[in-house]
A and B are shown apart, each in its own frame.
Chain A
């Protein structure tokens, strides 16, 4: 058995050795090792064998964050010459590929639209909780209510003030760590308004460009149901990272959601995936889960369409009552099944956007 009283004499490992050990950790979403992905930063090795570095994730909502830290510690602690490991976990959300949105939203790294086919399927509830879930993980998040026909972000976040104007720009309101903008905050919004196509486009564009969003990792956009003028404007003026489609498990609703997804495809917007809202029913009495509308229909549709299934959200009375009282359930009841489901959704969406940002578009040759 080798003795180790000569501690001070043991050689500290080299940076190469440390990186080699860390390169055994592979990011499951990006399919490459964390060293070649550039996630290991500021590596410092003291002569005494203290290894310190920053582990820079592609999103603070990384689903494998804790696993990465543990794997890194395990990989290094077993190494000869290592006397201690100090890992700082950070995240740097990468800007989406090919975004010319320098002009439109220069400080926003990822734009994620939330859409649906039918109305009333819970799109706004999903958008608010997705945004709040991303913010909870430490990301800088904005929420843009692009549903100018029926803005619900004011109600869902309990925010009602009039935004201030500074240097000709609107200052977004803040709640639950989110920067918020909605037509509902602006004057006259409670009057029934008849929106015509060009007005819709202008209003939406202004809510992007005339708002002081500041630096954001994610801008979540709550679209009106269907694929009308507002959706078209967004898809055509902002290079969206992608769109999350909210469906419910009833057959007809799902069919309409699939149509919406196809529509976004034709607009060249990448579907980040399908979410099934009101997926199962949590019995308030016994806490049991019931699949009222059958199980797995949205997941099967996603499979058929070749898009990711991002998860299901339970039909939960609490989701509704929290929403009515102006609090996203991920914040107000973080331990409820609904909140857990929304947090998982946020992780999945974050993972999908990271993948998008990392991939270089293929080279196409036609001869």
Chain B
């Protein structure tokens, strides 16, 4: 509770570069590639639910339009909903989760 949740001040989605750039309250800026975000999609379908394996498990590759960013919208004051060209848009990426992705090294 004492440590502040990460919060963005600016969000830029550049479709041509397939990059989402987030500028944070503390001044840091992070760039996320479409593929990075797609593979990290937190939705139940991708992650699996109630012991069922998710869509991304055991998957080695995804089509290009699966990885292509198409839109981003704000959810409340705590998350982004990210849509991909394939139509997949169920992932709600909390700011905290995005920030944690930013600090992990890309696989």
Partners in one complex: yes
Question: B75: CB under 8 A from chain A?
Answer: yes
**How far is B2's CA from A309's CA once the two chains are assembled, in angstroms?**
11
**Looking at the complex, which one of A307, A351, A365 makes contact with B78 (CB distance below 8 Å)?**
A307
Q: Which of B5, B7, B77 has the most CB of A within 10 A?
A: B77
**Looking at the complex, which one of A363, A364, A367 makes contact with B16 (CB distance below 8 Å)?**
A367
**How far is B71's CA from A361's CA once the two chains are assembled, in angstroms?**
17
B residues 62-107 in Cβ contact with A at 8 Å = 71-79, 92, 94-97
Q: Are B71 and A366 in contact (CB under 8 A)?
A: yes
Chain A interface, number of residues (Cβ within 8 angstroms): 29
**How far is B51's CA from A348's CA once the two chains are assembled, in angstroms?**
34
**Interface flags, B4-40, vs A, CB<8A=1, else 0:** 1101111111111000000101100000000000000
Q: Which residue of A lies closest to B10 (CB)?
A: A363
A residues 289-337 in Cβ contact with B at 8 Å = 305-309
**How far is B11's CA from A269's CA once the two chains are assembled, in angstroms?**
20
Q: Are A362 and B10 in contact (CB under 8 A)?
A: yes
Chain B interface, number of residues (Cβ within 8 angstroms): 31
Q: Are B79 and A366 in contact (CB under 8 A)?
A: no
Question: B60: CB under 8 A from chain A?
Answer: no
CB distance from B84 to the nearest CB of A (A): 13
CB distance from A58 to the nearest CB of B (A): 14
CB distance from B92 to the nearest CB of A (A): 6
Chain B residues whose C-beta falls within 8 Å of the C-beta of A365 in the assembled complex: 10-13
**Looking at the complex, which one of B7, B15, B75, B97 makes contact with A367 (CB distance below 8 Å)?**
B15
**Which stretch, A27-35, A37-45, A72-80, touches the partner chain B?**
A27-35
Q: Are B4 and A30 in contact (CB under 8 A)?
A: yes
Q: Are A362 and B79 in contact (CB under 8 A)?
A: no
Query: Knowing A31-B25, A308-B1, A348-B1 touch, does A265 contact B76 (C-beta < 8 A)?
Result: yes
**How far is B11's CA from A359's CA once the two chains are assembled, in angstroms?**
15
Q: Are B9 and A364 in contact (CB under 8 A)?
A: no
Chain B residues whose C-beta falls within 8 Å of the C-beta of A110 in the assembled complex: none
**How far is B73's CA from A115's CA once the two chains are assembled, in angstroms?**
25
Question: A356: CB under 8 A from chain B?
Answer: yes
Chain B residues whose C-beta falls within 8 Å of the C-beta of A172 in the assembled complex: none
**Interface flags, A260-271, vs B, CB<8A=1, else 0:** 000001001111
Q: Which of A30, A306, A361, A364 has the most CB of B within 10 A?
A: A306
Question: A97: CB under 8 A from chain B?
Answer: yes
Chain A residues whose C-beta falls within 8 Å of the C-beta of B78 in the assembled complex: 270-271, 306-307
Q: Are B11 and A362 in contact (CB under 8 A)?
A: yes
Q: Are A364 and B2 in contact (CB under 8 A)?
A: no
Q: Are B77 and A359 in contact (CB under 8 A)?
A: yes
Give me 24 A-to-B residue pairs in the complex whose CB atoms sit less than 8 angstroms apart, sorted by A's number: A28-B2, A30-B4, A31-B26, A97-B77, A268-B76, A269-B76, A270-B76, A271-B76, A306-B79, A306-B97, A308-B1, A351-B1, A361-B74, A361-B77, A362-B7, A362-B11, A362-B23, A364-B12, A365-B10, A365-B12, A366-B15, A366-B71, A367-B14, A367-B16
Q: Which residues in A have some Cβ–Cβ distance to B below 8 Å?
A: 28-31, 97, 242, 265, 268-271, 305-309, 348, 351, 355-356, 359-367
6 smallest CB-CB distances across A and B, nearest first, come from A306-B94, A270-B76, A31-B4, A362-B8, A306-B96, A366-B13
Apart from A362-B10, A364-B13: 8 A-B pairs, beta carbons within 8 A:
A28-B2, A30-B4, A97-B77, A363-B9, A363-B10, A364-B12, A366-B72, A367-B12
